[in-house]
Amino acid sequence: MTNFVSIPTGNWLVAIVDDFKHWVEGIGDVFITTNIIIVTKVLYIPNLRQNLLLVEQVASNGVVILFDEDTLP
């Protein structure tokens, strides 16, 4: 993550599946090397075990996203 800025704990809460909540500890930019894409304003949430990508946010910036069931694990 580049351009990282810390966010004091207790200022920003994110709710995910089943309304489980996590504190955001920072924000920055992430490079996706497959197609040399930069995702900006990425939230850093250390308690999450997986990376999450909001498809709507990426698509609203002009990126075309294709889901192909033949390539899913």
Instruction: Tell me what pLDDT residue 6 has.
Output: 93
Q: Average of pLDDT values for 51-56?
A: 80
Task: Say which residues have a Cβ less than 8 Å from residue 7's Cβ, sequence separation at least 6.
Answer: 24, 25, 26, 27
pTM attached to this predicted model: 0.60
Closest by CA to 30, choosing from 67, 64, 57, 4, is 4
Instruction: Tell me what pLDDT residue 64 has.
Output: 81
Q: Average of pLDDT values for 63-67?
A: 79
Better-scored residue on pLDDT, 29 or 17: 29
Strands (E), the chain: 2-6, 13-15, 21-23, 26-32, 37-44
Quickly list H helices, the chain. 55-59
